[in-house]
Structure 1
């Protein structure tokens, strides 16, 4: 498997969508993402939530790449100057694809054993479940 340090845009798309999703409790995941993130110390109601979450995501990605290729190797992929910039939340599909990309790039060394990485597995499942549960085929399926 290979890994790279994702773009700021990738992280910022995810963070913007999550921030939008966690406002109120009737989003796609009915507050589940907010609860997951609070459980790992990233409360969407706190000041600088987006900045802190984006930085934590970037740092985990850098850690994974360095574990894959060796200390200091991540900076060969791109400058390690991540900065959160507010983005317009895109579609749930773009957010999910960006999240899958970031998550895959973090699947190196012992990073998949971290609480942060595992929490994002739950975030991914929550988004996927929210999408599927709104499909007409799912609605039409039997519940018995």
Structure 2
């Protein structure tokens, strides 16, 4: 398994996806509150930075012999101000989680929050599927 710093595009999908999906935010707002995250773009910039730091820590635990060079350099997050669909948000969240899951990173509160967000988003997506709506509940 390899590990790398996720792309700016991946982080934009995550941050802007979480910001723009109002139904998702309203339904699972308690997950944001766990990390004292609110829905203003300034706080989401902090979230992007913290997620990149988590990603960087995972990469550094995976490759402890590499110096802190461009390999673990954190890109500067920039807003595109563009909605992101649920599937892309989910895949970007899963990509970030995979790149962070080295060493003891899984014990970090932000990593656990990331896992909770993925789980909630999966539930949200499944609940909207016509097949799920038609399935029996008995």
Answer whether TM exceeds 0.5 for this pair: yes
The answer as to whether partners of 1:15 and 1:54 remain within 8 angstroms in 2 is yes
Structure 1 gaps, min length 5 = none
1:81-123 per-residue CA deviation (whole Å, 9 max, x = no partner) reads 3223234122111111111111100001111111100111110
The counterpart of 1:38, out of the listed 26, 33, 40, is: 33
- Cα–Cα, structure 1 residues 73 and 86, in superposed 2: closer, same or farther, change >3 Å? farther
Query: What is the Cα-based RMSD across aligned positions, in Å?
Result: 2.0
Residue in structure 1 matched with residue 127 of structure 2 by the alignment: 133
For 2:66 and 2:31, the matched residues in 1 are separated by 31
Higher helix share: 2
**Could you say what secondary structure the match of 2:69 adopts?**
helix
1:135 CA displacement: 1.1
Q: Residue 28 and residue 83 in structure 1: after superposition, are their counterparts in 2 closer, same or farther (change >3 A)?
A: closer
Deviations 1:14-63 (A, max 9, x none): 10010112x4xxx146421x211211122224x61221111111111001
Runs of 4+ residues deviating >4 angstroms: 71-74
Q: Distance in 2 between matches of 1:29 and 1:44?
A: 8
Residues 38, 44 of structure 1: 8 Å contact kept: no
Q: Which residue of 2 aligns with 1:11?
A: 11
Q: How many residues align?
A: 138
Change (3 A) 1:43 1:81: same
Distance in 2 between residues matched to 1:74 and 1:139, nearest whole Å:
49
Distance 1:140 1:44, change over 3 A: same
Structure 2 unaligned residues grouped into runs of 5+? none
TM-score using structure 1 length: 0.85
Q: Is the 8 A contact 1:62 1:74 kept in 2?
A: no
Counterpart CA distance in 1 for 2:57 and 2:104 is 9
